[in-house]
Structure formats: C-alpha cells, structure tokens
Amino acid sequence: MITTTLEQHARISDGQLFQVRQTSPIADVVREFGIALTEVGATTLQGRCPFHDDGDGPALYVSPAGGYWTCGASEGGDVVAFVRHARGLDYQQAVEHLAERAGITLQPEPVPSSAVG
Ligand SMILES: [Zn+2]
C-alpha cells in the first residue's frame, strides 16, 4: 500500500493556496522562467515548450484568463503544475516557491496528532 507523501506534509490551507494562485499569474510565471510568449488570439499565448523538443514550432499554449497551460505533448495544468514541471518540485514545494516569489509567508496548518493511526 502506497500512501501519498503529500498528506504527511504540514498542510497549506485553502485560503493561502487561493492567495498564492491569485498572486501568481501563469503568464508572468512562465515568462519569468525565460519563455517568450506571443499572442495567438484574444485569450491565448504561445511559446516554446520548456519540457519537450518542440520540433516544428512552439507547442506551449498559455491561457492567462483560465490560469492554465498545455503543450502539444498532451501535458498541462495550472500554475502550480507548471512550476512542478519546470523546477522538478513536488506539489508542496511548488506552492512554497510561488509564495516566496509573491512575497507571501505561508503558515502551514498543523496536522492534528489525533489523525495519526
Ligand atoms: Zn511540451
């Protein structure tokens, strides 16, 4: 039986997660990773995928309004997923990275000891 390590971390509250997402526009985060984005429509930005060899052309698509990204290799997700991919972090580390970027100090929720066992 495999248990997820995520549950063993101190939890980040939903409120703080919301705050981190609000202060982490995906287009900004992607650009700060060194990827040039150009508009390809009213709501879509395009750039070279940092995770794959794009080959024929830029395969990374970013939706600033939707707050998600996708690429031609059928990967994608939200801003946290991008940071996880881009920096090889787990979920908690990615949220912490974004919080630090935005100048937010996370206050992990204590895990009740009564929840163990
Ligand atoms: Zn890709």
Q: How far is the CA of 112 from the centre of ligand 1 (A)?
A: 40
Q: How far is the CA of 21 from the centre of ligand 1 (A)?
A: 22
- Asked if residues 92 and 103 have their Cβ atoms less than 8 Å apart, the reply is no
Evaluate whether residue 96 is within a structural domain: yes
Evaluate whether residue 42 is within a structural domain: yes
Q: Is the pLDDT of residue 32 over 90?
A: yes
Exposed (0-12), middle (13-18) or buried (19+): which is 113, by Cβ within 10 Å? exposed
Confidence of residue 111 (pLDDT cuts 50, 70, 90): low
Full DSSP string of 19-79: HHHHT--HHHHHHHTT---EESSSS-EEE--SSS--TTS--EEEETTTTEEEETTS-EEEH
Q: How far is the CA of 96 from the centre of ligand 1 (A)?
A: 24
Q: How far is the CA of 15 from the centre of ligand 1 (A)?
A: 31
Q: How far is the CA of 60 from the centre of ligand 1 (A)?
A: 6
Domain that holds residue 34: 26-103
d(CA 52, CA 64): 21
Query: What is the structure's pLDDT at 74?
Result: 76
Number of domains in the chain: 1
Q: How far is the CA of 52 from the centre of ligand 1 (A)?
A: 4
Exposed (0-12), middle (13-18) or buried (19+): which is 45, by Cβ within 10 Å? buried
Q: How far is the CA of 58 from the centre of ligand 1 (A)?
A: 9
pLDDT in tens, 72-104: 767 899 999 999 999 999 999 999 999 999 999
**Predicted TM-score (pTM) of this structure:** 0.81
Evaluate whether residue 50 is within a structural domain: yes
Query: What is the structure's pLDDT at 3?
Result: 45
Evaluate whether residue 99 is within a structural domain: yes
Query: What is the structure's pLDDT at 53?
Result: 84
CATH number at residue 76: 3.90.580.10
Evaluate whether residue 81 is within a structural domain: yes
Evaluate whether residue 49 is within a structural domain: yes
d(CA 97, CA 40): 29
